[in-house]
Structure 1
Amino acid sequence: MATLPTAQSTGSHGRRRSSQRPDEQPEAPAPWERPALAAVLVVAAVLYAWGMGSAAIHPYYSSAIRSMSTSWQAFFFGGLDTSGSITLDKLPGAFWPDAVSVWLFGPHTWAAALPQVVEGVLTIWLLHRIVRVWAGPFAALISALVLAFTPVTVVLNRATIPDTALTLLLVAAAGALQKAVRTGRLLPLLTCGVWVGLAFQTKMLQAWLVLPVFALVYQITASEAPLRRALRLLLSGAVALAVSCSWALLAWMTPAADRPYVDGTSNNNPFSLVFGYNGLSRFGDDDTALGAVAGTAASRTSGNTGWGMLVNHTVGPQIAWFLPLAVLVTVMALVWRAREPRTDALRAGFLLWGGWLAVHAVVFSVSNGNHPYYTAVLAPAIAALAGGGLALFRSAYEAGGQRRLWLPSALVLTVVWALVLDWPTWFASWLLLLAVPLGVGGAIGLWVSRSGASRTMVQGSLAAGIAATLLVPAGWAAAGLDPLYAGASTSPTAGPVGTAYHKAVHDRSALRRVGLDQPSTRDIALLDYLTAHHHGEKYLLATQAAYPAERLLRAQSQPMLVMGGFTGKTPFPSADQLSTLITTHQLRYVLLTPLRPTTPATTWVKSHCTRLRSKDYGWRTRGSFGLYDCARQR
């Protein structure tokens, strides 16, 4: 029977890895490695893809995905409708794979969700590869398991939200940086800049949070002379900046008449979208900074902030199961390896992943508010630190001496922390009944074992302890397969926490998911009426903000004028522009709702157009919408 290699044979102690020459090839995989990794990837794929036909796709993003799949202009600029009247309030990069998938396979919910599944599985595979080079196969396998069973990654990878692509690209950037440090070559460092720039295309400024960490790690640990390291960093940074700003620059250079209006801005400037609406306005009291429009409750969240946000009742069970272990091993690794050479590869890895974790934790703590799924970007760092840290503690355990107690202590700490996180809900109590005795038993087995103990006993105790640490987060992760425990499609959250869960407990209808090409009876009636009365106008309909248009755009790829953008506050179109569209017979019908802000354009509609009776277009009740016919002006 194959056994896991010792820490020394894998290089997790660090000395062998640190002295590896740049031209050396990584050691051949042990017989157990590939089957173990394949099993983790299969389990992850099942968790992410199960029930994909009813995946929790984001209602706003998915409507744009369908439009982007049918129009090259909408695809490149991120147009919300096929005519490209206005963009998303985000950069389109994260949604390009989704749009391609819908273009290839048709307007199906599973087609929109498929790229997230692939991106999630690729992230695990890539992290395993990176950690294996850094700390050995044992650490790599633990990291892959921790990432696969992080609850927030499971619910997020079943949605259509940019953070999945962001995480994959940043992990790729970390791998390129590690290769640049290890080999001393320039190309991997430039590649790191490219990956960061592409990550910027998915979620803008958040992608740049890793740059100070990357720069510090390279400047401290790379083998080149200081000036050469600094010059290379500047060059890589220039590449990252160029790739990051490429879309915004191309959009800015395109005449306004030839592209959609940039949502979230008062000046139709893509740089205001990036650095204002999705940048400075998130951290200060002025939410109109740099030409941004003011946010709304639908575009901003005010919760989950402050220094305790990562371990609060809602966010903690999403991401923090291995957080104490990650912090502990980072501190101990830096202390234990303080006397190693500056280029020590093992210490460099702890600096990299520990810095990644620290910077994001600080930024999230001082921002105005965060959705729980924002923390998914922390999962690779926590997973890498957990894997690398347990490998380091295992090496110390096998070396003997006082440090041998760190391994069983770390396992017990992680199991106890699982009890703390689960305590408010007692959601996985039956798993805790397994995890606690398994973890304690494994720790006792390691404590009492001596150098003469059988190898089987030591490995069995270690395996039991590691399994105990994974049981409870895996239970929370698997719970996300039930829509009751998956949160809202706009804010995925695993387990019995969050507003979506509490609403669903009292009203099961709150669990209904939106889908592509799945219109309701009301949607069909309205679309049939609009189509029957459409006589060559450019737009089938204009709506007040994106909210009324989303379900119609998911049902059919039709040109629709989304007035006011996502928030309803974007100053497009103006009242004069709307009047021109109507008088030139490019638009006839407008759908208004009191649930979104009044603008000069909507005021013009109410004063110049005739409101239709709901029964005219097949609705039994008017609800919160009013359809106006501007061909019948007052």
Structure 2
Amino acid sequence: MTFSYSASSAAPAEVPAPSAATRWWRGRAADPAWARAALVVLLLGTAVLYLWDLSESGWANAFYSAAAQAGSRSWEAFFYGSSDAGNSITVDKPPASLWVMALSVRLFGLSSWSLLVPEALMGVGAVWLLHGSVRRVAGAPAGLLAGLALAVTPVAALMFRFDNPDALLVLLMTGAAVAVLRAVEAAATSAQTRWLLLAGVLVGLGFLTKQLQVFLVLPAFGLTYLLLGRPDLGRRVVQLLAAGAALVVSAGWWVAVVELVPAGSRPYIGGSQDDSFLGLTFGYNGVGRLTGQETGSVGTTVGPGGAGHWGDTGLLRLLGTTFGGQVTWLVPAALVLGAVALWLLRRSARTSPLRAALVLWGTWLLTTWLVFSYMSGIFHPYYTVALAPAIAALVGLGAAVVWRARASWLGTAALAAATGLTAAWAFVLLTRSSDYYPLLKWLVLAVGLLAALGFVLLRAVPVLPRLARTAGLSVVGAAVVASLAAPTAYAVDTAGNPHTGSLPSAGPAVSGGLGAGMAGPGGFGRTGHGGWSGSSHGGQHGGQMGGQPGQLGGQLGGQGQQWQAVPPVQGRQWQAGPRGGGSGAGAGAGPQQFPGTAGGFGGLGAAGGTGGFGGAAGGGGLLSASRPSAALVQLLEQDAGRYRWVAAAIGSQNAAGYQLATQDPVMPVGGFNGTDPSPTLAQFQRYVADGDIHYFIASATVGGFQGGSGTAERDSAQVRDWVESHFTSQDVDGTTVYDLTAPSATGAASA
């Protein structure tokens, strides 16, 4: 039996021309009458989820918030993506996502809302694009299911409420995928080329958002059009080359400017060890992410077997405790429904838009999954948001095709298997959050298994025609509820809790989240970063610092988390952050790349508090921003207009808190990790001699875990040591501050 599927039905012979308002509300004539209303509800619901109490996360990732603030004050900082309006150094990413936030801050002033609302609207836009693309080839119900699946993916609810570049990246990748599929569908050569050029431009903008990560979707785009496009093969190749040229132009103009401008006439390229954007692209943010050899990283190089601070690699990596609850809820349904749908469409025309959609989203999912599974470098749980559109699209597309074949045993088996496996996997994921509504996992499992049985009974047991529709809708409804209830609960939990710092994670705390399946830096508490992976609503912070372990313990303030499985980092001395309320320390005689450093590993409880590496009183650290007191802010603001930088501090997060509090430039010595060779001691001394910097704010943090170019971490230490030996310190609410315009007697004599 040959199976064919069409989302459209024949239109009546004569239909009165509707008004413009009617056409807008009604949508396509082929869609059900409820389709447009359902889309409006979907988008409004998504907007509510992503915008609700958005300001609770404050500056979110202060590293990017400070750069957006700088871009709102200086067009040079805007163009380069500088961390500060003094243009000392850029962030370690291209600036496209900062451009959006900086423009919003220019228009509406600096606030949590002006920074984060654009991210939320990007999420609504991504849901709208995905819905429209799936609906176009598979029908309105499929589009609605795909859009809903994306909207309630927990990591999507996290990143579309956060200021990392991933929100814009996902929007651009989704838009590019839609453009490629429209090119497959288009009949005219000119239309095909225009859509492919648009896809190339969007991918180029994605490169200016997060560099090489956007290229993970290129195999899906190229394969889909090369195999399934309408023109002859030669023309398809030429069109894809033209799209590649559009990609190069849309990204290359900015890269060319940055590379051609002399280093002394622009800010230092943050994250690089050679002040080169191309070096950053192919090093720290490129090959280093795959191999783990990331000079200047926050983690060590990989060890035997590929294990490092970012966990063991392998095909099942993303199903582990650290990553599973972020995005994998619907993976069973996506794989089963997508594979069976492709089989059912095996005899369709080569250029079938529906099959092209399945190939594109399926290849996107498999390619990105494999890269994420085996990359040995920096890999944070929120990176998995790049999988969300592909998973959601496959669920919608596959469900539509397989439902059409439900009269066959293959269709029945696929629907039952997808529902049952998804419910069972949700049960596993919910079990990892044992304190989070324990009854939910049993309800999801029960409803899912009953729905799976219902699909079988619909096929095996004759039903009166007048009851068949009701029975079918009931089973489908139960299957949708069983599949989406758990991720929706996690998404709501994510939206209901603040997330701050560099390493946010979606959903409630999970048992053994970091360390049980991953041995690297984490900080995945419910309220954002402030410590290592949380396991329950406790308040007891324990763990071992691996290797020759020291002990880190203490009671976190507020309703903290139980933290465990701290990764093997030796040779550091740790202490609790200023408001985490913890105590306990540990040190080990680690290797030379981990010199003992008075640190500060602060916890962040659900009720508030700050922390992070290097958490001196009031100070920030490697992964959490500083929170200066009113007295310190007042001191920094004195005569601020006379200085290029009101202060300097080691590390971008540390500097970001002071900059956001004062809205004046603060130089981040050493960039994000404190390991960038910017500025050198000689450069810093010249800035001080020229009267460009007013204060230096001391921090216990000097550099990240892994050394920079060999001198970078030493540069940061030399700057700190030089300041300490030449200027007199003063204590401001527990923070040590040096006035760089007033040398000490010893410093003046030596000068």
- Pick from 321, 324, 349 the counterpart of residue 329 of structure 2: 321
1:303-357 Cα distance to aligned partner (Å, 9 max, x none): 3743212211121111111101111122222323223332222221111011000
1:589 corresponds, among 683, 695, 711, to 695
Contact 2:115 2:163 in 1 (8 A): yes
Give the C-alpha shift of residue 630 in structure 1.
5.3
Residue 81 in structure 1 maps to residue 84 in structure 2: yes
Matched, 1:475 2:489: yes
Mapping 1:113-152, distance limit 5 Å: 113-152=116-155
Percent of aligned pairs with the same residue? Answer: 32
Contact 1:54 1:513 in 2 (8 A): no
Q: CA deviation at 1:425?
A: 2.5
Match of 1:218 among 216, 222, 225: 225
Partner of 2:433: 425
Partner of 2:316: 308
Q: Give the structure 2 partner of residue 173 of structure 1.
A: 176
Moved more, 430-439 or 66-75: 430-439
Q: Give CA-to-partner distance per residue, 1:150-191, whole Å, 9 cap, x none.
A: 111112211111111111110100110001000042100111
Aligned residue for 1:629? 740
Q: How has the CA–CA distance of structure 1 residues 297 and 228 changed in structure 2, closer, same or farther, with 3 Å as cutoff?
A: same
2: CA distance, partners of 1:316 / 1:143: 20
* Displacement of 1:298: 11
Change (3 A) 1:19 1:337: farther
Contact 1:593-1:626 within 8 A present in 2 as well: no
Aligned counterpart in structure 2 of residue 195 of structure 1, from 202, 222, 227: 202
- Give the structure 1 partner of residue 100 of structure 2: 97
Closer, same or farther: CA 600–445 of 1 in aligned 2, 3 Å: closer
Give the counterpart of 1:500 among 524, 532, 540: 524
SS in 2 for 1:542: strand
- The CA deviation at 1:17 is 6.8
Distance 1:51 1:542, change over 3 A: same
Note the C-alpha offset of 1:469. Answer: 1.3
Rate the CA distance shift 1:580–1:357 in 2: closer, same or farther, 3 A.
same
Match of 2:572 in 1: none
- Report the Cα offset of residue 447 of structure 1: 2.6
| 1:265 equivalent in alignment to 2:265 | no
Q: Is the 8 A contact 2:159 2:382 kept in 1?
A: yes
Mapped pair 1:459 → 2:473: yes
Check the 8 A contact 1:18/1:346 in 2, yes or no.
Answer: no
Aligned match of 2:367 in 339, 359, 363?
359
For residues 374-420 of structure 1, the C-alpha deviation after alignment (integer angstroms, 9 at most, x for no partner) is 011111100010111111111001x4455334323322222122112
Conservation of the 8 A alpha-carbon contact between 1:487 and 1:493: no
- Distance 1:448-1:532 versus aligned 2 partners, 3 A rule: closer
Judge which range, 540-549 or 93-102, deviates more. Answer: 540-549
Matched residue, 1:337: 345
Q: Secondary structure at the match of 1:540?
A: strand
| Structure (1/2) with the larger helix percentage | 1
Tell me which residue corresponds to 1:295: 297
Match of 1:528 among 631, 634, 645: 634
2:5 is the counterpart of 1:14: yes
Q: Could you tell me which residue of structure 2 aligns to residue 6 of structure 1?
A: none
TM-score (structure 1 length as normaliser): 0.89
Deviates most, 469-478 or 441-450: 441-450
Q: What is the CA-CA distance between 1:438 and the residue it aligns to? A: 2.9
Which structure has more relative contact order (CA 8 Å, sep 6+)? It is 1
Q: Determine if contact 1:281/1:287 at 8 Å carries over to the other structure.
A: yes
2:387 maps to 1:387 = no
Q: Distance in 2 between matches of 1:304 and 1:168?
A: 30
Instruction: Look up the equivalent residue of 2:738 and give its one-letter code.
Output: L
C-alpha distance in structure 1 between counterparts of 2:609 and 2:166, whole Å? 20
Q: Which amino acid aligns with 2:671?
A: G
Comparing 474-483 and 404-413, the one that deviates more: 404-413
When residues 535 and 348 of structure 1 are mapped into structure 2, their CA distance, relative to the original with a 3 A threshold, is closer
Counterparts of 1:523 and 1:373, CA distance in 2: 31
CA distance in structure 1 between the aligned counterparts of 2:670 and 2:146, rounded to whole angstroms: 44
Q: Which amino acid aligns with 1:479?
A: D
Amino acid of the residue matched to residue 503 of structure 2?
Answer: T
Is contact 2:503-2:524 (8 Å) kept? no
Residue in 2 that maps onto 1:107: 110
Separation (CA, whole Å) in 1 of partners of 2:61 and 2:114: 13
Cα distance change on mapping 1:298 and 1:428 into 2, 3 Å: farther
Amino acid at match of 2:345: R
The reply to whether residue 600 of structure 1 matches residue 711 of structure 2 is: no
1:537 to partner: Cα distance: 3.4
Distance verdict in 2 for CA 1:82–1:406, change over 3 Å: same
User: What SS does the aligned partner of 1:245 have?
Assistant: helix
Distance of aligned partners of 1:416 and 1:534 in 2 relative to their CA distance in 1, 3 Å threshold: closer
Asked whether the equivalents of residues 627 and 658 of structure 2 are also in contact (C-alpha less than 8 Å), the reply is: no
- One-letter identity of the residue aligned with 2:198: T
Residue matched to 1:5 = none
Gaps of 5+ in 1: 1-11, 289-293
For residues 539-586 of structure 1, what are the alpha-carbon distances to aligned partners after superposition, in whole Å with 9 as ceiling and x for unaligned? 211222223211111112213332211111211222222222222222
Give the alignment's Cα RMSD to 1 decimal: 2.8
Q: Choose which of 32, 35, 38 in structure 1 pairs with 2:34.
A: 32
CA contact (8 A) 2:6 2:138 kept: no
Instruction: Work out the CA distance in 1 between the residues paired with 2:225 and 2:48.
Output: 37
Separation of aligned partners in 1, 2:228 and 2:508:
41
Q: Are 2:730 and 1:614 equivalent residues in the alignment?
A: yes
2:266 & 2:300 partners in 1: Cα distance?
Answer: 26
Residues 438, 198 of structure 1: CA spacing in aligned structure 2 closer, same or farther, 3 A cutoff?
A: same
Alignment of 1:512-591 (within 5 A): 512=608, 522-532=628-638, 536-591=642-697
What is the deviation of 1:301? Answer: 5.9
Q: Distance in 1 between matches of 2:641 and 2:186?
A: 65
Q: 1:306 to 1:224 in 2, by over 3 A?
A: same
Which residue of the partner structure matches residue 408 of structure 1? 416
> What whole-Å deviation, never above 9, does each CA across 1:575-619 have from its counterpart, x for those lacking one?
22222222222234322323123433642553465343433xx32
- Using the size of structure 2 for normalisation, the TM-score is 0.75
- Which of 226, 248, 254 is equivalent to 1:247? 254
SS at match of 1:627: strand
What secondary structure does 2:642 align onto? coil
Change (3 A) 1:419 1:230: same
Cα 1:444–1:534, aligned 2, differ >3 Å: closer, same or farther?
closer
**Cα gap change, 1:483 to 1:402, in 2 (>3 Å):** closer
* 2:583 aligned partner: none
Task: Give the whole-Å Cα distance in 2 for the aligned partners of 1:313 and 1:553.
Answer: 36
Which consecutive unaligned segments of at least 5 residues does structure 2 have?
Answer: 12-26, 302-307, 514-522, 526-533, 540-555, 559-579, 581-603, 611-624, 704-712
Look up the SS of the partner of 1:614 in the other structure.
Answer: strand
Once the two structures are TM-superposed, the CA of residue 446 in structure 1 deviates from its matched residue by: 3.2
Q: Which position in structure 2 is the counterpart of 1:70?
A: 73
Distance 2:627 2:131 in 1: 47
Structure 1's 430 and 42: CA in aligned 2 closer, same or farther, altered over 3 A? farther
Measure how far apart 1:270 and its partner are. Answer: 1.6
Tell me what 1:232 maps to: 239
Q: Is the 8 A contact 2:330 2:422 kept in 1?
A: yes
Does residue 346 (structure 1) correspond to residue 354 (structure 2)? The answer is yes
Aligned residue for 2:495, secondary structure, equals: coil
